[in-house]
A and B are shown apart, each in its own frame.
Chain A
Amino acid sequence: MIFYLLRRALYAIPIALAVGFVCFMLVQIAPGDPINAIVPPDAPGDVVEQVRRDYGLDKPLPVQFGLWLLKVVQGDLGRSLATGRSVWSDLSTAIGNTLMLAVCASIVGFVVGCTLGGLAGTFRGSVLDRLATGIAVAGVSVPHYWLGMVMVVIFSVQLNWLPAMGAGPGGSSDWAWDWEHFQFLVLPTITLSVIPTGIVTRTVRGIVAEIMNQEFVVALRGKGLTRGQVFLHVVKNAAPNALAVIGLQLGYLMGGSILVETVFSWPGTGLLLNSAIFQRDLPVLQGTILVLAMFFVALNLVVDLVQAALDPRIKRA
């Protein structure tokens, strides 16, 4: 067990390094001289040369990667071309907003998905099962940015119940957990939650159906346990996998919220990425991608470790 955990934790290190290398290469594959990602295009020639030397851009690529990595580890992600502020200062507030949205969407997706999937798996072949399966397929095939627009059309334009965009009065810096602010979170959360809902429903349905077919469930029933007690045993067996799925979904949502954030002008990493793309602000693009990808690597590790701790069957494997 301890060896598995250690080996898994150690394996995260080369992965994190390689992910860092891919992010480093993003600026290299961008058309044009990478120096253009650091200095504005109208800078005089000698300044460009000075910066080139300061940043080590005249050195070979592996050395450049080492220098870049050293800075990143110290928390220096460079400066934005558009604003001149350090990338981290904009990114830190944006990450908080994206995390809030992604966590809310994951909770909704987990609760709805487990309920639908659990019911569908227990009553296989029923109308309920077909409904849940239909919702699951629709959830993973719907372009969520379009669903967001449809939500805005229905709930903001037609019914005028909820605000269409933004993060409330005073923007993201002035967030509070009251209705005045919370109403801005409702539509983005529902929109973002359709994907995890679909995936969790599908997974939980499969797990529950498989467990229900196993002999120990028949044995439990034979022992005279009530339905509720049997159900608890099923939950105990299904929980590690379901938690692993939703844990990874949180990471996918963090990275994938760019489209939903664009639709709702939610001030998170997605909106930051979007403006960075438009202004060709490569340091911001690189920094945001790096932090989100590292978050995903860390989350993957945590999910694996937690799953191993919860599920005694993994020890033997």
Chain B
Amino acid sequence: MSTAAEAELAIQAKVAVAKGQGYWAGVFKRVRRDPVTIVCATILLVMFLAILFAPLLAPHDPYQGSMIRRLRGLGTLNYPLGTDELGRDMVTRLLFGGRLSWFMGIVPVVLAFIIGTTLGVTAGYMGGKVNMAIMRTTDVFYAFPSVLLAVAISGALGAGIVNAILALTLVFIPQIIRVAETVTQGVRNLDFVDAARSSGASGFTIVRVHVLGNVLGPIFVYATNLISVCMILASGLSFLGLGTKPPEPEWGLMLNTLRTAIYVQPWVAVLPGACIFITSICFNLLSDGLRQAMDVKG
């Protein structure tokens, strides 16, 4: 009798494991069938590798300019994408510029993801006064248009990469808190959480095992979508002179300094913006694809 029950349990476990694999295998399968997501992921991967290995790939020095070859057009010999207003090679600058642009586009979202999830899950799970305190504070930051809040904070703190990242993180934390709180409240009252509680699990264990496992997916999908926004905002801050400082290459800053050159070499001047656009739209579409593949609502 007991062996039969054990066998039964073993089978159940196997089915559960197979189901667990089945979920991610299913997600992967759905992603593979979605050509748009595959193309976007490939473009992003190539871009990531290119900026990662920028020192190996770049044909010139990113800081070394020359007065005699300023603002060459597209297709110049040795300078296929032309040169900027100080005679620096655009291919090199774009490769190196991507490093800071990607860094500033991703780091604030990662920080906001960690802080926002912690606060949002706490608010959603605890409810009551804790929820009240966290969510009403969130409302205040929601009362600012996000561009304005980013400009206000980094404008007051002054230019610099750290200040810009700080400002952007503060912009995204409330947005992630709201999503995290909503999904946590949805999970909190489900039967398996009640079951865990009645079997004596502590609050911490319930959150760690049962809540986080179910809410991280939706929050993660939302956060990947924010990378697209963050990329635009971060480069926008640099464009306003609030993020990176010259001569550091960064797409938004390059766009700003090349603005004076639009009458001389218009198509060279808009190249950094095209890079921001491609990155941003790929992250956006990738996020949409993930959302569909993981069957996340909202």
Give the complex CA separation of A31 and B163 in angstroms.
11
- Decide if B242 touches A277 in the complex (CB within 8 Å): yes
- Decide if B239 touches A293 in the complex (CB within 8 Å): no
Which one, A14, A143, A273, A277, contacts B276 given CB within 8 A?
A: A143
Q: Is B273 an interface residue (CB 8 A)?
A: yes
- Decide if A26 touches B153 in the complex (CB within 8 Å): yes
Q: What B residues does A149 contact at CB under 8 A?
A: 255, 259, 262, 269-270, 273
Q: Is A19 an interface residue (CB 8 A)?
A: yes
- Decide if B269 touches A153 in the complex (CB within 8 Å): yes
Q: Is A70 an interface residue (CB 8 A)?
A: no
- Decide if B148 touches A22 in the complex (CB within 8 Å): no
- Decide if B152 touches A285 in the complex (CB within 8 Å): yes
Q: Which residue of B lies closest to A22 (CB)?
A: B140
Q: What A residues does B276 contact at CB under 8 A?
A: 143, 146
Which one, B148, B157, B262, contacts A256 given CB within 8 A?
A: B148
Distance from B20 Cβ to chain A, minimum over Cβ atoms (Å) = 32
Count residues of B near A (Cβ-Cβ below 8 Å).
Answer: 45
- Decide if B144 touches A22 in the complex (CB within 8 Å): yes
Task: Give per-residue flags for B138-156: 1 if the beta carbon is below 8 A from chain A beta carbons, else 0.
Answer: 0111011111100111011
Distance from B200 Cβ to chain A, minimum over Cβ atoms (Å) = 38
Q: What B residues does A246 contact at CB under 8 A?
A: none
Q: What A residues does B283 contact at CB under 8 A?
A: 141
Chain A: number of interface residues, binned into ranges: 35 or more
Q: What B residues does A252 contact at CB under 8 A?
A: 145-147
Q: Is A204 an interface residue (CB 8 A)?
A: no
Task: Give per-residue flags for B254-298: 1 if the beta carbon is below 8 A from chain A beta carbons, else 0.
Answer: 010001001100110110111011001101110010000000000
Identify the interface centre among B146, B235, B274, B277: most chain A CB within 10 Å of its CB.
B277
Distance from B74 Cβ to chain A, minimum over Cβ atoms (Å) = 13
- Decide if B145 touches A142 in the complex (CB within 8 Å): no
Q: What A residues does B259 contact at CB under 8 A?
A: 149, 263
- Decide if A273 touches B151 in the complex (CB within 8 Å): yes
Which one, B148, B232, B262, contacts A255 given CB within 8 A?
A: B148
Distance from A316 Cβ to chain B, minimum over Cβ atoms (Å) = 21
- Decide if B148 touches A292 in the complex (CB within 8 Å): yes
Give the complex CA separation of A116 and B145 in angstroms.
25
Q: What B residues does A303 contact at CB under 8 A?
A: none
Q: Which residue of B lies closest to A157 (CB)?
A: B266
Q: Is A107 an interface residue (CB 8 A)?
A: no
Q: Is A127 an interface residue (CB 8 A)?
A: no
Task: Give per-residue flags for B96-124: 1 if the beta carbon is below 8 A from chain A beta carbons, else 0.
Answer: 00000000000000000000000000000
Distance from A280 Cβ to chain B, minimum over Cβ atoms (Å) = 7
Which one, A18, A256, A276, contacts B140 given CB within 8 A?
A: A18
- Decide if A141 touches B232 in the complex (CB within 8 Å): yes
Known A140-B228, A147-B273, A277-B242; 16 more pairs at CB < 8 Å: A15-B140, A19-B143, A26-B153, A26-B156, A30-B157, A141-B281, A142-B280, A143-B236, A146-B255, A153-B266, A254-B145, A256-B148, A258-B151, A259-B239, A276-B155, A296-B148
Q: Which 10 A-B pairs have the closest CB atoms?
A: A146-B273, A255-B145, A255-B148, A256-B147, A141-B281, A153-B266, A18-B140, A26-B156, A141-B280, A289-B152
